[in-house]
Chain A
Amino acid sequence: MTQGIVPPYLLTRISQMEAPEFHDAAGAAHRTLLHDQPRRSARLTFRLDAADHLVAEVDSGPNRTISDAAHSETLPGRTVRTEGGSPVQDVAVDEAYDGLGATFALYHEIYGRDSIDGKGLPLDGTVHYGTLYDNAFWNGERMVFGDGDGQIFGRFTSSVTVIGHELTHGVTQYTAGLAYRDQSGALNESVSDVFGSLVEQYAKQQTAATASWLIGEGLFTPQVKGVALRSMKAPGTAYDDPRLGKDPQPADFAHYVHTTDDEGGVHLNSGIPNRAFYLVAHRIGGYAWEKAGQIWYDTLLSGLKPTTDFAGFAAATIVAAAKRYGDSSAEVAAVRAGWTGVGVTADGAASRG
């Protein structure tokens, strides 16, 4: 099987092919062409069918644009790499491009989602934002990556989990719309960590048992005593450094952090649902994106209220698991055990479902 990026003129040709063996490909090409402007590329697959006919299939592909802020805080910056373009001599640009591609691949190939909005939204990223800027963020429209200060943080594109995390903020914005404060904010953060980790696991083909479950592994410089920003498997253990202190994430609901900073500790309390997801995936076993990830993805699309709290989200994951795998399935049991494992009691009414 050969995969490639199809330029628009070829899409037009394919969409006009009339031979019956090209019917599917022509239809897909036509749909891709109708989709939006400016022209995006698509994925072309060739295979031989049972009768040895060559079948060409066209499918959606990502539409990436990477820009360079050149250390200013002005967005978007200068365009430096667009979809299908060759690698450039700038590791941050290429990491952002590849990371957005890996994230698109997980959502598209596993969950059938066409980009952030499900309708092929272009994936825009800016690198080299600000001076010694210690952060990466989603501004509602694009992903933005700083280079780090060089003493504590290196560049924020260096871990695909962070790229998947930022893009997932876009997915959440277009689906559950979880409000970014307190428990719903911690869930918003956790969903970004869950799919950020799954992007890496899918790209590396790791099972729940072999994955690191770390977010932002390798972002710290070697001077920092720590392996990553967060550990989903063991929240609170990612770093312990004289300058940064100890990783403050709680691993269970009894240690929920009450604070007014960070929108009510959304980056701290995400440790609780993060570990619940890890426990579910570990108990189910195999590739975490297949079942645990599917349950969480179904939950995002299940019509959650923006202010959903941990108990409500837990209940929704149980309902989602029951819908897909059956009420008395091992998957439902795993989901229940995951939440129990972090001290969260699923909302009664919904979870009986």
Chain B
Amino acid sequence: MAQPAEGDERSFRILVVRSGGVAGITRRWQVEPGDDAEEWRELVRACPWDAEDSDTESRDRFVWRIEVSRSDGQPADPVRSASVPDAQLLGPWRTLVDRVQQCGSHG
């Protein structure tokens, strides 16, 4: 089912990787949108992908890596990849990550 994807074409996937934390246990969630692709695109577009967030004070907080790629594994165009400190996982980031955790598969 061909979907008009963000920059160009086809289907895509959203990967969320949570690393750090005092336990040091990395967890992953992933979704590959189907019929609801346009809704997911909205969530993706709402995020501040180019913001440089850092948290140099905290120790043991989670770090979130969020990546959008094409279903064939190629990077999305435009490239969507960000590393977000737990303290900055707010607003559209939080909405997107919460949705991926609810709907996505654990890895």
Since A137-B22, A169-B59, A267-B21 are in contact, a sample of 15 more A-B pairs with Cβ atoms closer than 8 Å, ordered by chain A residue number, is: A134-B21, A137-B60, A140-B58, A153-B23, A162-B22, A180-B56, A192-B59, A216-B22, A219-B23, A230-B24, A244-B25, A262-B26, A267-B23, A267-B24, A270-B24
By a CB distance below 8 angstroms, the chain B residues around A134 are 21, 23
Give the B-binding residues of A (Cβ under 8 A). Answer: 134-141, 153, 156, 162, 165-166, 169, 173, 180, 188, 192, 216, 219, 229-230, 243-244, 248-249, 261-263, 266-268, 270
Size of interface on B: residues with Cβ below 8 Å to A: 21
List 14 A-B residue pairs with CB atoms under 8 Å apart, sorted by A's residue number.
Answer: A137-B59, A138-B58, A139-B57, A139-B61, A139-B87, A140-B58, A156-B22, A165-B60, A188-B59, A216-B23, A229-B24, A262-B24, A262-B63, A267-B23
A345 to B61, CA, bound (A): 31
Q: Which residue of A lies closest to B25 (CB)?
A: A244
CB-CB contacts below 8 Å: B40-83 with A: 56-63, 65
By a CB distance below 8 angstroms, the chain B residues around A136 are 22, 60
- Given known A-B contacts A137-B58, A140-B58, A180-B59, A166 and B22 have beta carbons under 8 A apart: yes
By a CB distance below 8 angstroms, the chain B residues around A229 are 22-25
Give me the 5 closest cross-chain CB pairs, A-B, nearest first.
A267-B24, A140-B57, A261-B19, A262-B19, A169-B59
Q: Which residue of A lies closest to B62 (CB)?
A: A135
* Contact across chains for A261 and B21 when beta carbons are under 8 A apart: no
Q: Which residue of B lies closest to A185 (CB)?
A: B59
The one of B60, B62, B86 in contact with A169, judged by C-beta atoms closer than 8 angstroms, is B60
* Contact across chains for A135 and B26 when beta carbons are under 8 A apart: no
